[in-house]
Amino acid sequence: MKFRDLLRLFGHRVWFDFEMLRLASGEAAESVHTEVYRWRRTGRLIELRRGLFVLAEPWRKQIIQGAELADPIYSPSYLSGRWALRYWKLLPPMPGLEYSSVSARPARTFTNSFGTYSYATLPRDLLFGTTIFPGAEIFDGATCSSGVEAFADPAKALQAGTDKRFLQDSIRRASLPRIALAEKALLDLCFIEGGEWDTARLAGLGLASPFKDLEPATPIPGPGILTARPGIDPEKLGAMAERSGRPRLIRAAKAFSKLAAGRGSRGAQDAEAPRLPWRREEP
Amino acid sequence: MTRESMLELTAEAAQGLRPILMNACLESALLRTFHETSAFSCICLTGQSALRYGSGLEGLCSGPRSEWGELRFRLFDKRGYYPERWLFKAQRRLKFMGIDSRIGFTRKASSHIGWIRAPDLAEAADLANTNSLVDTAGSADPKRPAAPPPGVKFLIHIPTGPVEAPAPGRIVLVEGWGECFSLRLED
């Protein structure tokens, strides 16, 4: 396989794997390994993890956000923990890129030129409380549209335009990466880091806006638009902790409620002051 | 894709469409596993299944008149042919997605049949109140029996003659329902 064939076949994609390359080339696995090795050595290909690649910068046709790669690198998983809390602007930004995710799979860490991707193991019953990653748009809408249009059998049954639109939307949304909601990201962090989470330990996290205030909680999807800080709703956090059925997480949620109540009363006193933003602002 | 996102997706659909969407998600997970285990080095998709994907679609695996998602393959190379292993891996993948599933496999002289079902999904998505057969608008008929749990069945045709042959068909790249995979389609 020539590099120009690779560009033709996978230039439009965010990532591709070794099996895709091997099948598309029709060559023996050994030959494909050699070619991949050469492309990597000459800087044309970046290996995200063993057998998973993206094209390097001049050849890549898409702008890739590192967070979009978290799920493909170790699927199924979703972004959570400290990275998600930073994304929701509840923790201050830190130098260095470490994308923290959770998965039911064994814990792993991968390092590549996009950053460090760490995956913590979460029991399967704790995999809930996620939303579509708002900044991501990895799906090629044109392909999706033509696919549904060309569909043979069920399309007859789904003639109505609304159904087609629903299907297109469903296929697109199913392919988007996911991120934990602010409350779930905090619970996941409590679970992953272990130990007892009392008010002192929670306060030590340095959460910028620990509880929900007037700004909207729902993410606003769109390229480059980050949601306004959603804050953490103590009630929602409590409900999620109850759903998890873990006494330690329930205690952590109660401690958080106490912390939020404390800060809330202080916040009410501060409300008369001219400006006291919840968000920690850059100097 | 996780169990939660799958349920979220189906929750917005009409009651009658829910089992079809679930079958589509399960089919994608199964085909992604086949892709990862290099299954398409020895089998290719044939018949209606190939037509469906050949027309450029990452789509629905079962029509409203079918309770199963069905995939038909043909064996063209015995090397690396381990269908039971693929099925176990698919079950493992579903487990990581948070879905408990049941699998089955039957070997006959001229065909191998495997299936994977997810009964807990049916309960979670309230499929018990869904009819197995729905009309074209996706609405349910109260007289008809409840839909069975979502599942995908695959049939691999085993040629009786020599099976060593050059790799047939063409390769397509499919993206949809939370998975991305290559497929070998018979022309």
Residue range(s) defining the domain that contains residue A20: 3-59
Domains: count for chain A: 3
Domain match, A191 and A207 both:
yes
- Does A49 fall in a domain? yes
Least confident of A45-54, A270-279, B28-37, B174-183: A270-279
Domain match, A111 and A187 both:
yes
CA–CA gap between residue A236 and residue A129 (Å, rounded) = 10
Which residues on A lie below 8 Å from B1 (Cβ)? 76, 174
Q: Which residues pair with A54 in a beta bridge?
A: A46
pLDDT in tens, A208-227: 765 555 344 444 444 333 44
Domain match, A76 and A52 both:
no
Domain match, A81 and A211 both:
yes
Domains: count for chain B: 1
CB atoms A148 and B57 under 8 Å: yes
Residue range(s) defining the domain that contains residue B38: 3-136+144-185
Alpha helices in A139-181 (DSSP H): 141-150, 153-157, 161-174
- Does A279 fall in a domain? no
- CB of B125 within 8 A of CB of B7? yes
Name the one residue in this structure whose structure tokens are 């956090």: A237
> How high is the mean pLDDT of chain B?
80
- CA–CA distance from A232 to each of A51, A134, A183, A208 (Å)? 38, 18, 5, 10
Predicted pLDDT of residue A15: 92
Predicted ipTM > 0.85: no
Q: How far is A20 from chain B (nearest CA, A)?
A: 6
Domain match, A210 and A252 both:
yes
Q: Which of these three, A11, A38, A59, is where a domain ends?
A: A59
| DSSP result, A28-64 | -HHHHHHHHHHHHHTTSEEEEETTEEEE-GGG--S--
**How many C-beta atoms lie closer than 10 Å to residue A16's C-beta?**
23
pLDDT in tens, B61-75: 555 455 567 889 999
Domain match, A264 and A127 both:
yes
- CA–CA distance from A146 to each of A8, A45, A142, A169, B59 (Å)? 20, 30, 6, 13, 11
Query: One digit per residue, pLDDT tens: chain A, 283 residues?
Result: 899 999 998 988 899 999 999 999 989 999 999 999 999 999 999 999 999 999 998 898 888 888 989 999 998 999 999 999 998 888 888 777 789 999 999 999 999 999 999 999 999 999 999 998 876 543 333 333 323 333 334 444 444 456 667 777 777 777 788 999 999 999 999 999 999 999 999 988 888 765 555 344 444 444 333 444 567 889 999 999 999 999 999 999 999 998 888 765 555 444 443 333 344 333 3
- Closest partner residue to A153 (CB to CB) among B36, B63, B137 is B63
The pTM for the full model equals 0.81
Predicted pLDDT of residue A163: 65
CA–CA gap between residue B34 and residue B29 (Å, rounded) = 9
10 Å CB burial of residue B44 (0-12, 13-18, 19+) is buried
- Closest partner residue to A147 (CB to CB) among B35, B51, B56 is B56
Nearest-5° Cα angle at A11, A8 to A15? 130
Helix (H) or strand (E) holding B117, with range, is strand B111-117
Q: By three-state DSSP, how is residue B169 classified?
A: coil
CA–CA gap between residue A229 and residue A245 (Å, rounded) = 28
Domain match, A13 and A120 both:
no
Predicted pLDDT of residue B15: 77
pLDDT at B1 over 60: yes
Domain match, A105 and A200 both:
yes
pLDDT in tens, A104-119: 999 999 999 999 999 9
For the ranges A92-96, B32-36, B152-156, the maximum mean pLDDT occurs at: B32-36
pLDDT in tens, B78-125: 888 999 999 999 999 999 999 999 999 999 888 999 999 988 887 777
CA–CA gap between residue B163 and residue B159 (Å, rounded) = 6
Which residues on A lie below 8 Å from B35 (Cβ)? 19-20
Q: What is the maximal distance between C-alpha atoms in chain B? A: 51
pLDDT at B52 over 90: no
